[in-house]
Structure 1
Amino acid sequence: MGAWDIGHFDNDTAADFGGRVDDAEPGRKADVLRDVLSAIADTGPEQYADCGEEAVAAAALIAAQCPGGEPVTTAYGPKEPLPPLPADLRPLAVRALDRLTAENAEPLDLWAEAGEDQAWLAGIAALRAVLAAA
């Protein structure tokens, strides 16, 4: 993962994902988010969960539409505003975040190697709190 900061879109994979969301037809944007969240949420604990950066970015976009959520204002996120997202994406995003903060998950492993796992986990916990409360 090429990362330049700890933010949800501050890595190459998430930045590319922001462009992919922009490229999707308006009626398919929620499907793009659902696909990346499901790919992580549906992995079992014995499977290695990789490429979670997109799921974190998707969770951030969903949380931005929740009460108490922070808007995604980074230049690396989607440039176009998202339509209102379906509420059923929220529990899916929570499941994906839970999977990424468990053992056998690439993003957590990479942040631990960099000595930034606690800072990364704090950002994930904040996202999860907004999503779970909504």
Structure 2
Amino acid sequence: MGTWDIGHFDNDTAADFSGTLDDAAESERPGILREVLLRVAGTDDYLDSDEAAEAVAAAALIAAQCPGGEAVTTPYGPDEPVPPLPADLRKLAVEALDRTLSEPSELVELWDETDAGPAWRAGIAGLRQVLAAAGPSQG
């Protein structure tokens, strides 16, 4: 995975995922986010770094629509607008982030081998906090 910084879209996989969202019809984008999150949240097996990176990017897009969430302004994020998302995606995004940080996870292994690992984990914790605070039924 080509990674150039700790941001949620600062890697090739997340940037490619943004392109996938841009190529999809607006009505299909919530389903794509859900599919990515379900794939990660629903596995106990070794979690591939690409799947985890997509889930982190999806969680960032969902958190951006929550109170206290940060807009995704990076040039590596989607160019096309993300429609208002169902509130139940917030809980699913929290589950996917929790799974991303749980062993066995290739993404965690890769970040833990770097000096930037703690800052990356802090970014994930910030996303999780926004999503958990927003709750599944608000919005």
TM-score normalised by the chain length of structure 2: 0.93
Indicate the RMSD between aligned Cα atoms, in angstroms.
0.7
Amino acid at match of 1:35: E
- Asked if 1:55 corresponds to 2:55, the answer is yes
| Correspondence for 2:109 | 109
1:38-49 matches, within 5 Å, as: 38-44=38-44, 47-49=45-47
Q: How does 1:1-134 map to 2 (within 5 A)?
A: 1-44=1-44, 47-50=45-48, 51=50, 52-134=52-134
How far residue 115 of structure 1 moved from its aligned partner, in angstroms, is 2.8
Paired letter, 1:3: T
After TM superposition, the runs of 4+ consecutive aligned structure 1 residues lying more than 3 A away are: none
Counting matched residue pairs gives 132
Q: For residues 55-92 of structure 1, what are the alpha-carbon distances to aligned partners after superposition, in whole Å with 9 as ceiling and x for unaligned?
A: 00000000000000000000000001111000010000
Paired with 1:49 and 1:87, the residues of 2 have a C-alpha distance of 25
Shift of 1:106: 1.2
Q: Distance in 1 between matches of 2:106 and 2:120?
A: 13
CA distance, structure 2, for counterparts of residue 120 and residue 62 of structure 1 = 18
1:93 partner amino acid: A
Determine helix, strand or coil for the equivalent of 1:78. Answer: coil
> TM-score normalized by structure 1?
0.96
**Inter-partner Cα distance in structure 2 for 1:25 and 1:91:** 24
**Unpaired segments ≥5 residues, structure 1:** none
> For residue 46 of structure 2, what is the amino acid of its counterpart?
Y
- Mapped to 2, the partners of 1:79 and 1:26 lie a distance apart of 12
Deviation at 1:95, TM superposition (A): 0.2
